Amino acid sequence: MEKKTPLYEVHVSEGGKIVPFADYLLPVQYPTGILAEHEAVRTQAGLFDVSHMGEVMFSGSTALASINHLITNDYATLGTGRMRYGILCNECGGCIDDLIVYKFGDEEYFVVVNAANREKDVAHMAANALPGTVVEDVSDGIAQLALQGPRSRDILSRIADPTRLPEKYYSFVRHVSVAGTDCLVSQSGYTGEFGYEIYTSAENAVTLWGAIRGAGEGFGLLPCGLGARDTLRLEASMPLYGHEMDDQTTPLEASLGFCVKFAKDEFIGRDALVATGAPSRIRVGLVATGRGIIREHQDVYVGDRHIGTTTSGTFAPHLRRAIAMAIVDVTCATTGTEMEVDVRGHRVTARIVHMPFYKHARIASATNHQPRERYDHGTRSRRPQVHDVPRVDIGAGRHVYDRAHRLCPGCPR
**Which residues of this protein are in contact with other proteins, per CB under 8 A?**
28, 34-35, 227, 230-231, 291, 293, 295, 314-315, 317, 344
CB nearer to other proteins: pick between 346 and 362: 346
CB nearer to other proteins: pick between 195 and 313: 313
CB nearer to other proteins: pick between 188 and 298: 298
Are the C-beta atoms of 25 and 3 separated by less than 8 Å?
yes
What's the CA dihedral at 94, 100, 104, 109 to 10 degrees?
-20
CB of 290 to other proteins, least distance (A): 12
CB of 35 to other proteins, least distance (A): 6
Q: CA distances (Å), 168 to each of 33, 54, 179, 361, in order?
A: 32, 24, 22, 15
CB nearer to other proteins: pick between 130 and 293: 293
Closest by CA position to 4, among listed 223, 202, 196: 202
Under DSSP, the state recorded for 375 is P
Q: Report the C-alpha gap between 198 and 182 in whole angstroms.
A: 10
3-state secondary structure of 54: strand
CB nearer to other proteins: pick between 17 and 391: 17
Q: Report the C-alpha gap between 288 and 314 in whole angstroms.
A: 10
Closest by CA position to 365, among listed 180, 196, 212, 114: 196
CB of 315 to other proteins, least distance (A): 6
CB nearer to other proteins: pick between 102 and 190: 190
Q: Report the C-alpha gap between 256 and 239 in whole angstroms.
A: 9
CB nearer to other proteins: pick between 216 and 227: 227
Under DSSP, the state recorded for 66 is H
CB of 407 to other proteins, least distance (A): 17
The number of angstroms, rounded, from the C-alpha of 206 to the middle of its chain's C-alpha atoms is 24
CB of 34 to other proteins, least distance (A): 5
CB of 293 to other proteins, least distance (A): 5
Q: Report the C-alpha gap between 70 and 129 in whole angstroms.
A: 7
CA atoms within 13 A on the CB side of 404: 15
Across-strand partners of 108? 59, 105
CB of 5 to other proteins, least distance (A): 21
CB of 28 to other proteins, least distance (A): 7
Across-strand partners of 327? 283, 309
Are the C-beta atoms of 324 and 306 separated by less than 8 Å?
no
CB of 226 to other proteins, least distance (A): 9
CB nearer to other proteins: pick between 181 and 310: 310
Angle, CA of 27, 29 and 33, to the nearest 5°: 170
CB nearer to other proteins: pick between 298 and 337: 298
